[in-house]
Every structure is written in C-alpha cells, then in structure tokens.
Amino acid sequence: MSARRRGLIALLLFFAGTLVTFQAGRTQGFPRDEGYYFEAGELYAGWYEELLTHPSKALTRASVDRWFGYNHEHPALMKTLFGLSWRLLHRCECPRQAGRHPVAYSHPHRTLSLLSEAEAFRLPADLFAGLLVALVFLFGAQAWSTGVGLVAAVLTLAAPRMFFHAQLACFDAPVVTTWVACVWAYWRALSDRRWGWRAGVAFGLALATKHNGFFLPFVLGAHYLVVTARALRRGERFRFPVVFLWMAGLGPLIELAHWPWLWFDTVARFREYLAFHLHHVYYNMEYLGTNYNKPPFPWSYAFVMTLFTVPVTTLALGLGGAAVLLDDWRRERRGDPSFLPASPFSATCPGLLVGLNALFPLCIIAFTGAPIFGGVKHFLATLPFLALLAGVALDRLVRYSVGVLGGTVRGARMAMAGAGVLVCLPAVAETVRSHPYGLTHYNLLAGGPAGGADLGLNRQYWGYSTRGVLPWLDEHAPRHAAVYWHDTNQPILNMNVREGLLREDIGNTGLEEPGVRASSIAMVIHERHFNKYEYWIWDFFFPSGRTTKPARVLTHEGVPIVTVYERPRP
C-alpha cells in the first residue's frame, strides 16, 4: 500500500477515534483527578491569556507561580491543552457561575462557543485518542501489513479500561499516545535518520504528558542493544545511536520549555516533582479480596488485572502474536529455509520492540515494588502493543489458513478483512457494554462485573460514578439539600453544576465524619476500604437502628456502585 493511502486511512482512523471518544465522553462521569485538571487547565490558560495581553507581567515569577503553582506535581502539557481548548471553544456563562471556577470572571469569555465546558476540556484527550489509533495503525501497517494495523488500531481503543481513560481530561491515555509515538518514531529512526529528531520531540512530549515517559529510554535502549548485536553479528559496522542523542537533547528541553513552573528554581522544583512520585502516599486498591494500601504489593497484580480486563479475544490473539514472533525468531536462528521475514523492516526487529513494550509497563509495576493503586491505568501502555501482537497473530493465522485451503492472494486479503471485523466484534461489544462504568468492568474470564465482584477485584475509583445518581438527586433532593458526596470532590460538583447536570442549590457537607453528620442525604461509593462510610451513615441517619434501607442503589449489571441514603425527615 502506498504511503499516501496509508496516511489517508490513518487520518480516517484519527477522526473516528476522536469522534467516538468525544461522543462517549458526553455521558461519562467526571473523576476526582479530572476535577483538579479542569481547574489547572483554566488557570494555565489564564497565564497564556496574560502572556498575550501583558507579556512582561506574565513572565515574572509571581505570575508564573500564581497560574502554574496549582497541581505542579504533574507536567503541564495536557492541562495546558485542556485549558486552551476550553478557552477557545466553550459556551461561556462563567460570570454567573461565581465560586465554581478557580478564577472570578466579571465578563463572559469571547470564545467560539462550539462546545460545553466539559466537552471543550476533554477535546484534546479525544484528539490524543484519535492520534493513538492512527499511530498504532501506521506502526502495524508499516511493520507488517495494513490488516495488522487496522485490527490493532481498533483493538487498542476497543478495550473497556482504555476506552474509559481515553475520554477523560487526564493523562493516562494521552501518555499512551505519546509513548507509542516515541516508540514508533524511534523505530523509524533506526532505518531513517531523518526520524531522529521526531523521536526526540515525541520523547519530550511523553515527558511533558506524564512521568511514565522517563521509562522510555530503558525499553528503547534494551531494544537497541539487541538490534545492534544482531547487526554486528551479520558483519555490519556499528552505527552510533543518534536517535538517543535527539531524545537526550530534545526531551529535557521540551519538558522545561512547556512548563513555566520549572523556569524558576529549576533544580529544586524538578526534584520536588520527582520526589512527589517517588514518595507518593499509598492509596487503596482491592485485589483478589485483599485491600492493599502499603507495601509489599503483589507482583502478580499487573498480569492478573490484564488477564481480567482486556477482552479475551484480544488477549488470546496477543499471546498468539507473541508465539508467532518467537517462532519466527527461532526459525531465523536455526536458518530454517522456509523462514521469510514478515516485515521489510525486520532488521530493526519490530516484533521485539512490540513485545518488549507489551511486557515492559507490566514489569515496571510487577518488579519495582511500585504501588498498585493506579489500577490498570498505570500499565495501559501495554495495550496498543498487545493489540499489535493480536494483529500479527490474526494475519498469520489467515495466511496459513488460506494456504491450507489453496486460496489466492486476493482471497487472503478478503479473508483478513472478514476475520479482522470478526475479532474486533467482541472487543467492541465488551467496550459498549462497559460504558459508562468502565472501571467496574471485567472480562469474560473474570465473569463480567459480577465476576469481578466475586473475585474481590476493585469496583472502581476516583468517585466518578456518582454522575449516575444525579437525575435521582435532582428529582428527590429538597431545596438546599445538604449532601455528603463521599469521594466525589468539589471540582467535580462544580463541573456537574456548570454542565447543568446538578441543581445549583444542592450543597456539599464536606469530608469524613463531620460531613456525614451534617448531611441529610449521604452516599457511599463502593470500594472495599470505603465500607466504613456506609456504617457511619447508618449510625448517624438511623440512630434507632431499626432500618438500613437505602433510598437508591446505583448498579452496573447488578453490581452496586453507589448507594444513597436519606436521613428520615422528622
């Protein structure tokens, strides 16, 4: 296939991926961290506005600290994009929403008024999701075949956890995009030096997206060693790894340039940033019936969670793809005369690169003692590479099957198209099924969401699912109701009000025991360690102890995710 046609398909995939995540995001709850990033985005956009209007003031330390001091534990790239998108596109009623924005506005913003506020904030994440799909296609199509690329592109996004994160104005899916971009650009740079600087830019963007980017040189370095050793064995001369020079040069430069907070006290602030993640407080995560909130964490976590959350067909094909590539390697080493390289780029070992990247994110969690509280989102980068392996497996299976049946090349292409659609069906069906409670979803092996609950796997996190009880609250809550929102934080509530999803008069009684005591409606978001909040509600709402009847239970396929109580009215 010509590069032009490949590019056209990539473009279509980009639009499709963007559109699907954008559309799904309209019914997706806002999680805790997204609430912080909404606020950060608005603040960071404020700095750029000041840069345009009062550049000399904007470049002072006081101004930078005012706008970028908030949420400086993460780099600014995505938050800046969220904020700029919001600034440009949202329909503004900001002056009327005093107290629900991090900044007070006396006049409405002049914008294009194309999207709601949340849609505008989330649009960059949607675009990154589209980009991810396009990049995976290009990688698969260039390294193996168009069919491999297409199947891998669909399977990457058609996975409940990835799809969930891809809709959010957060960093966990975008960093997968920048990770894949860097891996792909690095791989291209091995055979085309012009790609070196692009790999450097992609590495910089990965660093600027989330700290996961720091791990990229390790996995790429390991791959480069193997490629170089093979080249030397073949008698080729040693080629200096220029691509790493680009990465070493552009990576830190982009990290520094994009993040004004680092422009002052750079070393101390960079240390602070690293220290935040190296000494992160341990949150809770239920795994196989045990709540983990301090080390040691189970090494099996990342593998078992992958086993139970990725659609089984994708998983089976991914393992098949790994077996295919191992078999290729074995036959090549033996000098098997029937072995033909599957890729014109086989000297650059794309299979090894994909295999390493499928395993590496899992191994970081499994073998470094890293906390597991982030759940699957901390090793989401495995998924596109698993999807590529799945594409390879399908491609090979179709070729062999058509060969056995004596089919033609055209027949093989048609068979691949049909098989591609078929193997994507379960992944798409699982993803549709999981929406909008993707974090509660478990796959066929686990027995679905109910099976996940049986197994004692984490029900959810981040307090986003309370969106499902907003219609009930709007209908039932008395005026100025004092509500205990549990893990749903104030920035989320602000956005719910700004989006017209929650009545403005409904209050928030705050955190912990005083919050429950002060409330007339209280909810518990079901996670194992959160049970005590439900017991507090019983004690404070029903002191006679005669009942434990909730007013509303929100479920996903029968599994409780939020339970709401009403204090009996006198």
Partner 1 sequence: MTATGKRWPLLLAALLLALVVIETGAAVRARSRVAGEADWQATAAAVRAEFRPGDLIVFAPAWMDPVGRSYLGDLMPIEMVARSDADRYGRIWEVSIRGARAAETAGAEREVEQDHGLVHVARWKSPPPAPVTVRYDFTAHLAEALVTQLPVDGRGDERPCFQDPRDGDAGFGCASTHVGRRTLEIDYRPRRGVLVPVDQHLVTRLEYRAVPLGGTLVGYTGLHDYYARKNADGPVDFVVFIDDETVYRGRTGNADAWKRFAIDTSRFAGAAPHRVRFEVSAPAPAWRNFGFHVEARP
- In the complex, which residues of this chain contact partner 1 (CB under 8 A)? 282, 284, 291, 293-294, 311-313, 316-317, 320, 397-398, 400-401, 403-405, 419, 422-423, 425-426, 429-430, 432-433, 443-444, 448, 450, 453-454, 517, 526, 528-529, 531-532, 534-536, 538-540, 542-550, 552-553, 555, 557-560, 563
Q: For tokens 């991090």, name the residue.
A: 102
- Is 138 or 457 the residue whose CB approaches partner 1 more closely? 457
Contact in structure between 143 and 343 (CB atoms under 8 Å): yes
Closest CB 455 distance from partner 1, rounded Å: 10
Which pair of structure tokens corresponds to residue 206?
């990965």
Closest CB 412 distance from partner 1, rounded Å: 12
Eight-state DSSP code of residue 170 = S
- Is 111 or 293 the residue whose CB approaches partner 1 more closely? 293
Contact in structure between 132 and 179 (CB atoms under 8 Å): no
Closest CB 186 distance from partner 1, rounded Å: 32
Which pair of structure tokens corresponds to residue 65?
């600290």
Between CA 202 and CA 196 the distance in angstroms is 10
Between CA 493 and CA 503 the distance in angstroms is 10
Closest CB 40 distance from partner 1, rounded Å: 28
Phi, psi values for residue 507, rounded to 5°: -100, 180
Based on its alpha-carbon atoms, the radius of gyration of the chain, rounded to whole angstroms, reads: 25
Contact in structure between 170 and 125 (CB atoms under 8 Å): yes
- Is 248 or 421 the residue whose CB approaches partner 1 more closely? 421
Closest CB 141 distance from partner 1, rounded Å: 22
Those residues with Cβ within 8 angstroms of residue 271's Cβ, 6 or more apart along the chain or in another chain: none
- Is 181 or 386 the residue whose CB approaches partner 1 more closely? 386
Which pair of structure tokens corresponds to residue 230?
């093979």
- Is 205 or 416 the residue whose CB approaches partner 1 more closely? 416
Closest CB 120 distance from partner 1, rounded Å: 32
Between CA 310 and CA 157 the distance in angstroms is 11
Contact in structure between 385 and 360 (CB atoms under 8 Å): no
Closest CB 473 distance from partner 1, rounded Å: 16
Contact in structure between 148 and 140 (CB atoms under 8 Å): yes
Q: For tokens 């608005």, name the residue.
A: 42
- Is 199 or 469 the residue whose CB approaches partner 1 more closely? 469
Residues in the chain: 570
- Is 237 or 294 the residue whose CB approaches partner 1 more closely? 294
Tell me the residue ranges of DSSP E strands in 486-551. Answer: 507-508, 521-525
Closest CB 542 distance from partner 1, rounded Å: 7
Closest CB 230 distance from partner 1, rounded Å: 29
Between CA 407 and CA 401 the distance in angstroms is 9
Contact in structure between 109 and 92 (CB atoms under 8 Å): yes
Give the H or E element holding residue 314.
helix 312-334
- Is 160 or 200 the residue whose CB approaches partner 1 more closely? 160
- Is 132 or 397 the residue whose CB approaches partner 1 more closely? 397
Residue 399, CA distances (Å) to 223, 266, 317, 390 in order: 28, 55, 15, 14
- Is 120 or 387 the residue whose CB approaches partner 1 more closely? 387
- Is 369 or 403 the residue whose CB approaches partner 1 more closely? 403
Closest CB 429 distance from partner 1, rounded Å: 4
Q: Which residues of 322-331 are buried (b: 16+ CB within 10 A; e: fewer)?
A: bebbeebeee
Contact in structure between 492 and 32 (CB atoms under 8 Å): yes
Closest CB 548 distance from partner 1, rounded Å: 5
